[in-house]
A and B are shown apart, each in its own frame.
Chain A
C-alpha cells in the first residue's frame, strides 16, 4: 500500500503542474477559439525572464536580497507577458478577426517560433536557475501507519498547492466579476458580445495576459524544479493530451485531465512498466488520449459539438 500511495501522490503533484500549463490553453481557446500553440513558448520566455531578471536586477540596483529580487523579477516578467499579449493582439489577432480556426492556429505557431527565438536571444540559451525558495528536502507522512512512512517531495507539494490556489482564483474571477462575465460572453458569441458593447480587442489582451500569468507561474515552478532551458517549451507537449482529455473548453477539465494523466503515467510506469521494459511515462498520456478520442471526441468535460445541418 505504501509504494502505491507514494506513486499516487507523486502523480497527483506532477498532474497539477500539467494542469497549470493546460489551463493556459483552455483560457485562450475559450475566449477566442484559438488553439494557442505558443503556450509552451510563453512558459519558456516567462521562465527565462524570471531567471535572468532575478539575477540582473540585484546587480543593476546593487542590493542583495533574494526575496526582493524574486518579487521584482516576477513583476518585470509579468509586465513582459502583458506587453507580449498586447503586441499579439495588435499585430496578429486583430488582423485575423473572423478567420478560420486553422489560420489562427498557424499564426500561433509563428508566434511560438518568434517567442522561442527572441526569448533566447534576449536572455541567452544556457541553463539557468530559478530559486524562489521552494524547499528541496523530502518529508515523511503517516510514519506510524506505514513502515518508514510515505516519502513526499516538499517542493512538489508546495507547487501543487500554488497551482490549486491559482485555479481557484481564476475560477472565481471568471464566475463572479464583470470582466469575467464579459470574457465568458466573448467566448460564447463574438457578434452578440460586440453588439452589447464588449470590446473584443481589450478582452483578447486580458485573456492573453492571464494566459501569460499562468505561463509565468508554470514556468517558475517547472523552472525551479528542472532548471530553465529550451526543453521547457516542450512541457506544452505534455499538456496537449491533458487538454484533449479534459475538453478544450473546460477549466475543471484541464485540472482533472492533468491529474488523471499525472497519476496514470506514474502508476503505469511503476506497475506496468517492468513488463514492457519501462519508459511508459513518456507515451502514456498520448495513448490514453487516443482511446478517449475514439469514445468521446469532445473530451471528458468539453461541449458536445452539434452542427446544425
Chain B
C-alpha cells in the first residue's frame, strides 16, 4: 500500500457555506483532495458530512464558495453533469434499483459509456448488441472483484444489507470514476462486513488508482484506511491532516469525547 503514489491536488473545495433556511449546515469549509489518495471526512452525527458530499456531488448548490476539479470550477451543476465529469457515488441509505437484478443494477452504471441510440437498441442492431456484450464483460469483472458472482441474477431487494452495500459500490465502480464518493460505506455493518468493505475500498484505490473521498463516523475504520482526514463538527472544520495528526488534535478529541470545562 505504501508504494501507491499520491499525485497533485485535483479537487479543491474553497470556502463552502451551505444554509437550509436559517440552519447553517456548513460554514466556510475548505480542503483539497490529491490524486490517488483516500480522503476521509469524519465528524459526529449532524456535523455536515453528508451535506459536504452532496455539495461535491451536485445535489446541493452551496450559497457561497466554489468547488474546482482539475482546474474546472463548477457551480450550479446537477448530479448528472457531475457524473459526466468523472464522479461516482454511493449512498448512505441504499438507493439501489430494488426491482432490478444485481447485474442490471451494475449495468446501469455503464449508461454514460453507451453510445448506441434508442432505435438501434430497440431492433438489437449489430452495434447495440456488441456494445451490450463489451459492457457486460466489464461488469462481470466488477462482479468478480466484489465477490458477488453467486448473486448475479438476484433482485437486489432480496440481498442482505452488507451485500447491497457492495452492489451500490459496484454500480459506482462501473462508471470507471476518477473520484469515488462514498457516503458512510460501513454504516450499519458488523465487524466482518466492515473489514470486507475496507479491503474493497483499498483494492479499488490500489488497482485502479481511483481517488476516494469517504464519509464515516466510525473513527477506528477511517484511521486505518485513509491517507488524510478532514474533521467537521457543527458544520465547521475543526481538523485536517494525517490520521495521527488528527487523533492528537485537542479540538477533535473534545468534539468526539466532549470537553470538561
* Most chain B beta carbons < 10 A, residue from A173, A176, A197: A197
What residues of chain A lie closer than 8 Å to B118, measured between beta carbons?
179, 206
Chain A residues, CB < 8 A from B59: 191, 195
Cα distance, A173 to B128, chains bound together (Å)? 13
A189 touches B97 (CB 8 A): yes
* B32 on interface, CB distance cutoff 8 Å: no
Give the contacts of A138-186 with B (CB-CB under 8 A): 173, 176-182, 184-185
Nearest A-chain residue to B132, judged by Cβ: A178
Chain B residues with Cβ under 8 A from A195's Cβ?
57, 59, 79-80, 82-83, 88-89, 91, 95
Interface size on A, residues (CB 8 A): 24
Task: Report the separation of the CA atoms of residues A136 and B79 in the bound assembly, to the nearest whole angstrom.
Answer: 54
- A194-B79, A197-B84 in contact; A181/B104 too (CB < 8 A)? yes
Interface centre among B57, B80, B116, B172 (most CB of A within 10 A): B80
B residues near A173, Cβ cutoff 8 Å: 121-122
Interface of chain A: mostly helix, strand, loop or mixed = helix
A194 contacts B80, C-beta separation under 8 Å: yes
B80 A197 Cβ-Cβ under 8 A: yes
Interface size class of B (residues with CB under 8 A): 35 or more
**Interchain nearest-CB distance for B81 vs A (Å):** 9
Nearest CB of B to A181, in Å = 6
Cα distance, A176 to B133, chains bound together (Å):
12
CB distance from A96 to the nearest CB of B (A): 16
A184-B97, A185-B100, A188-B99 known; A196 vs B122 contact (CB < 8 Å): no
Q: Is residue A199 within 8 Å, beta carbon to beta carbon, of the partner chain?
A: yes
Judge whether A292 is part of the interface by a CB distance below 8 angstroms. no
Residue A244 CB within 8 A of the other chain = no
Contact, CB under 8 Å: A188 / B97: yes
Chain A CB within 8 A of B109 CB? yes
Given contacts A189-B96, A196-B175, contact A178 B114 (CB under 8 A): yes
Q: Nearest chain-B residue to A199 (Cβ)?
A: B80
Cβ of A31 within 8 Å of any chain B Cβ, yes or no, is no
Pairs A–B under 8 Å by Cβ, sample size 19 = A178-B107, A178-B111, A178-B131, A178-B135, A184-B97, A185-B97, A188-B97, A192-B97, A193-B108, A194-B80, A194-B83, A195-B57, A195-B89, A196-B88, A196-B111, A196-B112, A196-B171, A196-B174, A197-B175
A188-B96, A188-B100 known; 8 new pairs, CB 8 Å cut-off, are: A177-B124, A178-B111, A178-B114, A181-B108, A189-B97, A195-B57, A195-B79, A195-B89
